[in-house]
Structure 1
Amino acid sequence: MPQQSGVRELDRFDCYEACVQSPAHVAKFLRAVHGNHPRVLREDFCGTAALSRRWLEDAGRLGEAARAVAVDLDPDCVERASRQSPEALRVLRADCRNPHVGDGAAADVVFVGNFSVGYLHTRSELVSYLRHSRERLARVARGDRGGVFVCDTYGGASAFKLGSLTRKHPSRTGEIIHYHWAHEEADALTGMVTNSISFKVERAGEIVQELPRAFVYRWRLWSIAELREAMIEVGFASTEVYTECNVVPGEVPWAVHEPSELKDDWIVLVVGRT
């Protein structure tokens, strides 16, 4: 796999941002689902903080003041995020489960994406984390802006079946990235799964890089019902479920109300409101 002279190799974070994340769609969704000009985003398990950066970029285009706090425990993620962070973005290397991370700063929106709520392996961890998140939002709610907690999860007929999928995505610099998701282990009795993401980089019709198992995840796969019940238990006033984050500007996101609205295999956003 020869590398062209003078051409920078893509790293695993370049590939991840190109293939996995949709910060433009998610940032619009978060503003729309909040519904009352949210200013402060807390992005837990943030990775490279791509969403936080987009949150601030969109606020600038809207002429609104905004801030973001992005938290992750992975030193490589934090180093990458810090290199790209604007002044209004605070990047912290810390355990998101620690209630004191970020000095208890209030937020209008707390977001946990890319199935990272699965890093909370036990129900006690989940409930504790949601309670601290609601308390952050409640500080803002007392200022009459309200607050929302949003996380994503997946499920359906194939949730605990082993398998893989491959698709291609363009990079920002013109390469084609071959994305490979593998469902390596799954235990329906415990809810634990192991998933991995691998990449191959194609340039001018030739594979020039391979990044096998660039990301490996050991997650608890929480169901929609488990997440909603835990949110209500810690004091969220209501919960909602959404299957689509691509929101048309000016429109209100459409929540799911019937199980028939879910596909056989689904990805959803679960929202808790203070």
Structure 2
Amino acid sequence: MGKSGKKPRESHRQGRGRRTSHFGDEGGDDLPSSAYDAPPPHHEDSSDDYDDGTNDATAGYEREEDADAGEQDQWGAGSMPSKFHLYQLSVQSPKGDISYLQKFFLMYVGGRVPIHLQEDFCGTALLSTEWIRTDARRTAIGLDLDLESIEWCLENNLSKIGADGYSRMLLFHGNVLQPKEARLVKQRFNDLLQGLHVNSGNGSSGSNSCEQSGLANLKCIANSTMSEAALPGRDIICAFNYSCCCLHSRKDLVLYFRHAFSALSKRGGIFVMDVYGGTSSERKLRLQRKFPSFTYFWEQEEFDIISRQTRISLHFQAGKKQMLRHAFTYHWRLWSIPEIKDCLEEAGFESIHVWIREMPNTQSSGNAKEYNANRDVKYEESQRFNQGDAWNAYVVGVANI
């Protein structure tokens, strides 16, 4: 994510996100991506102190519930959980995403099991961590411009996998519009024994190989840019949590798609992104979900119909008085599906597929405190879809088939 004052091309997240380091106080740094496509909440009876009279609803979307109540209750009364931890519990569902990624790959590429993943706009790289955790053959590459979130991943997510996980996952600090210049983030752990050194025979985007092994290989790779490291051609590249909306111009969106296309395996690969829309996405809106230990708020503060730009803020409330306002704030350009398809085609993708599902009507809940999606409604591949109040979609680009 770009820092304040940098040029648009220097930031793959043009909308500045504000960071607060503690409850009730606002900061000014950028943060990783966010979304309101969240798993169904745990039900809890508690009062809502963050009430401005607007229509409240939970963003209880179809993805499976990954939030662990034990983790949510691990902080004591009055303590301040990490903003990244709250974000992962309330927004992300890596198991559900991985299930769809595997399905898309087998449907549109097939012939082998996907092994090599790249997660762009990775933030805390929770998806990449889950990817390598569930299969010892897998590797993952994460890329993000926010160094703080990457380091948080190393200390809190990847550390749970152990040395084997470190050897199969690389995190790069850099811009998705200039990925070859991204630098590998040094992994600061005593139990890190070796770096990732994978044969690039299935279509590598790297130009140089670190031939040594063990700690010597780690030292070599730790000083590498993405273009210098020997990386395998990726089977899957994904950009989730609506992160492509951080790119405001068509030129940048096509450029990003071209970089993704060139990094995919020559044996065939897929690029997958998510996008949301509907009439509710083009007006002021506040959605709410309750967890056992905190409440999560998604707030659409404005929408410009000419530029199609919007400002999204995420807030968290722990208890009745601990409020983390504007923990994440984004300035997004809300792309339409036809625009995305055109840009993917221009970037070289051979076929594009849209998987979409209708979301619950955000205006039908009245003053209800809980607003849940129907978990029986699944994403389906669609050629046509009538506009509604709210929808969510995966867009899949297929390459080298």
Distance apart, 1:77 and its partner CA:
0.6
Please give the TM-score of this superposition, normalised by the length of structure 1: 0.84
Could you tell me which residue of structure 1 aligns to residue 175 of structure 2?
95
Superposed CA offset, 1:228-255 (max 9, x none): 11101111010011126xxxxxxxx741
Superposed CA offset, 1:16-38 (max 9, x none): 11110110100111111111311
Could you tell me which residue of structure 1 aligns to residue 240 of structure 2?
113
The SS at the match of 1:59 is coil
Higher helix share: 1
Superposed CA offset, 1:159-208 (max 9, x none): 21112111113xxxxx4220111101211111111100000123xxxx36
Aligned positions of 1:51-200 closer than 5 A: 51-60=127-136, 65-83=137-155, 84-85=157-158, 86-87=165-166, 88-100=168-180, 101=182, 102-103=226-227, 105=231, 106-137=233-264, 140-141=265-266, 144=267, 146-169=268-291, 175-200=292-317
Aligned residue identity for 1:217: Y
Task: State the superposition RMSD in angstroms.
Answer: 2.1
Which of 85, 89, 102 matches 1:31?
Answer: 102
**CA–CA distance in 2 between the matches of 1:8 and 1:177?**
12
Computing the radius of gyration over CA atoms, which structure comes out larger, 1 or 2?
Answer: 2
Q: Is the 8 A contact 1:176 1:201 kept in 2?
A: yes
Q: Is the 8 A contact 1:81 1:91 kept in 2?
A: no
**CA–CA distance in 2 between the matches of 1:264 and 1:211?**
29
Q: Is the 8 A contact 2:279 2:388 kept in 1?
A: no
Identity of paired residues, percent? 32
**CA–CA distance in 1 between the matches of 2:356 and 2:318?**
30
Unpaired runs of at least 5, structure 2 = 1-22, 24-74, 159-164, 183-225, 358-378
Unpaired runs of at least 5, structure 1 = 170-174, 245-252
Aligned residue identity for 1:257: Q
Higher strand share: 1
Distance 1:45 1:117, change over 3 A: same
**CA–CA distance in 2 between the matches of 1:23 and 1:157?**
27
Aligned residue identity for 1:90: L
1:14 corresponds to 2:85: yes
Could you tell me which residue of structure 1 aligns to residue 69 of structure 2?
none
Q: Is the 8 A contact 1:19 1:177 kept in 2?
A: no
Distance 1:209 1:232, change over 3 A: same
